[in-house]
Amino acid sequence: MFQIGDTINVRDRMQRSYSYQIDAPAGCDFAADFQPHFTPKEMLEMGIFEGKYCNDCQPELPADWFDTAKTGKVADPALNYFQIKSRQPLAVWREKGWIRGPDPRGWFQWYCRYFLGRRLFEIDDWQIKRWRSFRRHAAQVRANCDPGDWMCRPRQRQALLQWAHDPFV
């Protein structure tokens, strides 16, 4: 795991010369209003983004995150926890303004870097507000599903997982 003061140099398909510094201990010192239900490692183990999220950026992240991660060479909805198609093309994310700052893969890439200890306060505030607003999906699941019926609204549940919220509400 990285230490405070370490510089992480990124070299993958989407970023060739980006680097960032670790400013906080990994998994600690989160903003008070940001309390994710899962770590990035837990999310990868459970199955997110059809197994095709961090394939070319694994060297930037701790190797143990991928020991039991569900990944594949091609996008496969069966790798998702709720086994449904759950991703949109990156072009849609860009079009909607969901990509901002130095994280070209969006929210989960930001969360991985934040979890590791990178702090970029303006971007962090924006992403945390987006994370908080995503809770509305949990309210919709609660309002429309019987307790324990995990296959009710599987697309929303998968999305909650991909945003580090509890999909088993």
Residue 20 backbone phi and psi in degrees, to 5: -145, 160
In this model, does residue 1 exceed pLDDT 80? Answer: no
Distance CA 8, CA 115 (A): 13
Query: Does pTM top 0.85 for this prediction?
Result: yes
In this model, does residue 90 exceed pLDDT 90? Answer: no
Residue type, 46: M
What's the pLDDT at 94? 87
Residue type, 19: S
pLDDT tens-place string over residues 145-169: 999 999 999 999 999 999 999 999 9
**For residue 132, what is the enclosing H or E element?**
helix 121-133
pLDDT tens-place string over residues 112-140: 999 999 999 999 999 999 999 999 999 99
Assigned token pair, 152: 């009710």
Higher-confidence residue: 54 or 81? 81
pLDDT band at 55 (very low <50, low <70, confident <90, very high): confident
pLDDT tens-place string over residues 17-35: 899 999 999 999 999 999 9
In this model, does residue 57 exceed pLDDT 90? Answer: no
What's the pLDDT at 125? 97
